[in-house]
Amino acid sequence: MNKLRLLGYKIIYQLAKFYWKIFRPRTSGARGIILYDQEILLVKNLGSKHWLLPGGGFKKNEDEQQCLFRELEEELKKWEIEDAGWFQLSALPSKTSPATLRRIQEFQNGNKNLVSIW
**In this predicted structure, what is the pLDDT of residue 116?**
47
Handedness of CA 34, 48, 78, 68 (dihedral sign): positive
Taking the CA atoms of residue 16, residue 19, residue 21 and residue 26 in that order, the dihedral angle to the nearest 10 degrees is -80
- Residues 6 or more apart whose Cβ sits within 8 Å of residue 24: none
Q: What is the mean pLDDT of residues 109-117?
A: 64
**pTM exceeding 0.75:** no
Which domains occur in the chain, in start order?
Answer: 26-108 (3.90.79.10)
Per residue in 36-71, pLDDT tens? 988 999 988 887 899 998 887 888 888 888 888 888
Average pLDDT over the chain, rounded to an integer? 82
**In this predicted structure, what is the pLDDT of residue 112?**
66
**In this predicted structure, what is the pLDDT of residue 118?**
40
